[in-house]
Structure 1
Amino acid sequence: MHVAVLAGGPSPEGEGSFLSADSAAKALADLGHTSEVIDISEAGFWSRLAEAQAAFIAGHGWYAEDGKLQGLLEVLGVPYSGPGVMASALGMHKPTFKQLLVSKGIPTLPWVTVLKSARREELARVVDRLGLPLFAKPASNGESFDAGIIRTIDDLQELLASEGPYSSQEYIVEPFVTGNTLTIGIVQDGSELVSLPVLEAVSHNEFYDAEAKQDPDLHDYRCPAPIPDHVTEQIVDLALRAWKACSCHGISRFDFMLSDKGPVMLEMNTVPGLTRQGNLAGMAEASGLGFNRVIELMLASAFNRPTYCP
């Protein structure tokens, strides 16, 4: 079939998403499909979908991964890969996602949301409540853009005062947990949910920041992660519970840290990075499925979606 691979957009992650789009397009070609990469920031890009039999979403961040693009495709009646509007919106807005986790008994770190305009007195209350050190990140960004470790109130005030190209008005602050990030992909194969092997990301920087994520020389991936079997089982169980709570579809990736009490869920990514050097590709190869098979299942999710997907 002919597939429109959607990427780009006015997002901090928009430009980088073309790497995912190119990787997906090559896999689709290996599978016998033709494809066209379309930049969703182009005016009237949806008019170019008329020739496509499906849309493969490879965009990351705002307008591509947050439910807005999914909603447009629903209205247009274009079959598309991956989760629907609700799951995508939940995954993008970290405070709302964490509220859902708490309601379902899924462990996550305690958190407080603060606005860039917050006064020092409010920031002092955040520190009193959560202690130090802390980790602060935008409530709706990915790739750890504008995120940082907070060791003093001054650090937090400085981070909120910064006006970078990816600045956000709302931040989420939570305790800083040392250690490596653990991540697991869940992919849908018809009516079956397949959990890929847990992957451990080892950052060469102080934390797994945007620089470490984008530079292969600044991180190492270990897959399967060298963790006890019972921890792996816990992570699989928690990821499947979050998948069902969010009404995911097709594919999603769930990030964890290990606390003193066991794994705690950090985030959900409804459009994981798709480069051959990325963590999803690493999990796909370690699982035995292979990257192309995962891409094939993602495309198939465009056609096995429930009649109405929230």
Structure 2
Amino acid sequence: MVKETFINIQMKKIIVLGGGWSTEREVSLDSMTQTYKAIKSFHVCTEKKDIKIADDLVSILEEDLENILIFPCLHGKGGGEDGAIQAFLELHKIEYVGSRAKQSSLALDKVKTKKLMDSQGLPVLPQEMYNKKKKPRFKGFNHRLIVKPINEGSSIDTTLIETDEDWENLSVSKKCLVEPYIKGRELTVGVMETGKKIKSLGVIEIKPRKESFYNYKSKYTSGETEYIKKPKNLEISIQTKIKKYALDAHKALGCKSFSRSDFIIDDKNIWYLETNTIPGMTNLSLLPLSAQKAGFGFEKFLMMILSDYE
């Protein structure tokens, strides 16, 4: 079935978008390049396009719009995962891979997403909006805090607060939320959607070698983090529950094609952190690793995703 459907894809031109104007531009360019190379190996007509400013999108309108498929590899706020480019494509009725504009915007907003997940029964950490004058104390948790922007990805500008002095010295230029810091095991799992089937992929453990949590440096510096496809002493029941939560999050947000959800576990609890609608597609990225653990190499994973778009 996948092969038959893919014949139709070969009749289309696939344009992989990357770059954008968010703080995750460089990561996006890497995702675009690696996705482009993989799709090109399918012997289909494909090209990559670096979107530097919003006006760069206009050139897409010069294409044969009925016979192109856009594959966005754009991350973060500002033309990436916030739904802006998706809204442009929808306005011009251009087919594209991945979650729709409304769902993308919702998933990037950590406050709204966590409220939604709480209503769906997923375990979420307590949170407060950042207020310099009021350092929050979360009952039942230790004194350490995490401050993160409401709608950024890749842990950009995410800060660990360990002391009152850290709090006083903190300077933020964006709307941020504050959560208790959990010292535990960080885990992630991808979700793949093809046809009417939605399945969770493999659970990957994320183990920063130097940093206290999985921050930007840990994510995108080679050798800074260990990615464990077979986590030790992680009960099957916990992995099963995390995979279910990832599926629940994907469905609750209304994601399409794929997503990746992040979790952290301590001695007693699993905590949902966030869902990414356009996860990284680099050689250090977690969605390809999660797919690989489930038996799908990067090329096969992309082919199955693309087979949904006739």
- TM-score, normalised by the number of residues in structure 1: 0.88
Give, in whole Å, the separation in 1 of the partners of 2:231 and 2:42.
29
Q: Distance in 2 between matches of 1:244 and 1:128?
A: 30
1:286 maps to which residue? 293
1:251 aligns with 2:258: yes
Q: Where in structure 1 do 4 or more consecutive aligned residues deviate above 6 Å? A: none
Query: Of 36, 48, 53, which aligns to 1:42?
Result: 53
Give aligned pairs, total: 291
Q: Partners of 2:149 and 2:27 in 1: how far apart?
A: 18
Q: Which residue of 1 aligns with 2:214?
A: 208
Instruction: Answer yes or no: is the 8 Å Cα contact 1:255–1:268 preserved in 2.
Output: yes
% identity of equivalent residues: 31
1:267 shift after superposition:
0.6
Match of 1:222 in 2: 228
Q: Work out whether 1:16 is the aligned partner of 2:23.
A: no
Gaps of 5+ in 1: 163-167, 304-310
Query: How is 1:73-84 mapped onto 2 (pairs within 5 angstroms)?
Result: 73-84=89-100
Report the equivalent of 2:70. Answer: 55
- Pairwise CA distance, 1:48: 2.6
1:71 aligned partner: 87
Contact 1:250–1:298 (CA under 8 A) maintained in structure 2: yes
Q: What residue in structure 1 maps to residue 190 of structure 2?
A: 185
Contact persistence 1:250–1:297 (CA under 8 A): no
Q: CA deviation at 1:301?
A: 4.5
Amino acid at match of 2:148: K
Q: What residue number does 1:136 align with?
A: 147
Q: How high is the TM-score relative to the length of structure 2?
A: 0.88
Q: CA deviation at 1:302?
A: 4.6
Q: Is the alpha carbon distance of 1:219 and 1:74 closer, same or farther for their aligned partners in structure 2, counting shifts above 3 Å?
A: same
Distance 1:257 1:119, change over 3 A: closer
Q: Which amino acid in the other structure matches residue 103 of structure 1?
A: S
Instruction: After TM superposition, give the deviation of residue 43 of structure 1 in Å.
Output: 4.9
**Which residue of the partner structure matches residue 170 of structure 1?**
175
Contact 1:80–1:299 (Cα < 8 Å) also in 2: no
Q: Secondary structure at the match of 1:16?
A: helix
Q: Residues 19 and 25 of structure 2 are in contact (CA less than 8 Å); yes or no, is this contact kept in structure 1?
A: yes
- C-alpha distance in 1, partners of 2:238/2:142? 27
CA contact (8 A) 2:220 2:284 kept: no
Match of 1:112 among 115, 128, 141: 128
Partners of 1:292 and 1:225 in 2: CA distance: 25
Cα-Cα RMSD: 1.8
CA displacement 1:138-160 (0-9 Å, x = unmatched): 1111111111211223312322x
Q: Contact 1:60 / 1:271 at 8 angstroms: preserved in 2?
A: yes
SS at match of 1:232: helix
CA distance in 2, matches of 1:43, 1:170: 24
Q: Residue 246 of structure 2 contacts residue 261 of structure 2 at CA under 8 Å; is this kept in 1?
A: yes
In the TM superposition, residue 41 of structure 1 has moved relative to its aligned partner by 2.5
Alignment of 1:273 onto 2:283:
no
Secondary structure of 1:19's aligned partner: helix
d(CA) in 2 for partners of 1:237 and 1:18? 31
Distance 1:199 1:131 in 2: 26
Check conservation: 1:189, 1:297, Cα contact below 8 A.
yes
Verify the 8 A CA contact 2:148 2:159 in the aligned structure 1. Answer: yes
Q: Distance in 1 between matches of 2:202 and 2:251?
A: 19
Please tell me whether the aligned partners of residues 117 and 249 of structure 2 are also in contact (alpha carbons under 8 angstroms).
yes
Q: 1 CA distance for matches of 2:95 and 2:222?
A: 34
- The code of the aligned residue for 1:31 comes to F
Shift of 1:273: 0.5
* Alignment CA distance shift 1:158-1:297 (3 Å): farther
The 1:220–1:44 alpha-carbon spacing in structure 2 relative to 1, beyond 3 Å, is: same
